[in-house]
Amino acid sequence: MSMVGGLCGALRVFLRYLWREKVISHDLSQSVESPKKYRLSSIPRSISWTEVERMLAGVDRRSAVGKRDYAILLLLVTYGLRGREVAALTLDDIDWERERLKVPERKAGHSTAYPLSPLVGQAIVDYLKHGRPQATDRYIFHRVMAPFAPMTYGAVSGRASYYLHKAGVPVPRPGSHTLRHTCVQRLLDAHFPLKTIGDYVGHASPESTAIYAKVSLENLREVALGDGEEVV
């Protein structure tokens, strides 16, 4: 769609040029219409849970970088965090006594608290004890090579892209957003209401969540079923 829109724009420019140079007698540029783009027309780039497991299995959790990346991937796919939200996590955002994970300024400038998944908690503890370099700041995730600076949003997304490629998971433009979409799709497949899902992943508006409704195959199957009919 964007390629067709770009070609239409180039054609309009060319037609205006021909009119200015008097090669044609009328300005035909306005007769070239751009393709219509409909709301909710795109498909979220989620992957199956089998592909998630294959991606996680490709992480070498014996190394410091593997311990770090495993915890990052679990945070992305379990809570649907954005790459920047993972990069911004600090040691103060984990309440170990109450088993809570706080994501600062997730929605409308407010922090959101989540139950800390045992699997995610174990992965973070393993990294903190055996992989995180000595640092004076409170950020959780750091580079594993000097200088040991906190990870950036781009670095977090890059690690997700690396392991998706390594696992051979076919997805356009892989990155942290792929695992975020997968988290949302999994909640939708489990029949959670769109409002609940939107609140869980910090969507700013209901429209951001509504796009996933059209790829809920089971829900669409129920809509398609007629009296005495079976949709295969």
Indicate which residues carry an active-site annotation: 82, 107, 177, 180, 203, 212
**CA–CA separation, 51 and 169 (whole Å):** 7
Is residue 129 within 8 Å of residue 67, measured between CB atoms?
Answer: no
Is residue 44 within 8 Å of residue 173, measured between CB atoms?
Answer: no
Is residue 128 within 8 Å of residue 71, measured between CB atoms?
Answer: no
Tokens of 183: 């988290």
Is residue 195 within 8 Å of residue 207, measured between CB atoms?
Answer: no
Starting at the edge strand found earlier in the chain, the sheet holding 110-115 runs 94-95, 100-107, 110-115
Query: DSSP character for 225?
Result: -
From 180, 174, 170, select the one nearest 161 (Cα to Cα).
Answer: 174
Compute CA distances 170 → 34, 50, 69, whole Å: 30, 13, 20
**CA–CA separation, 212 and 100 (whole Å):** 28
105 SS3 class: strand
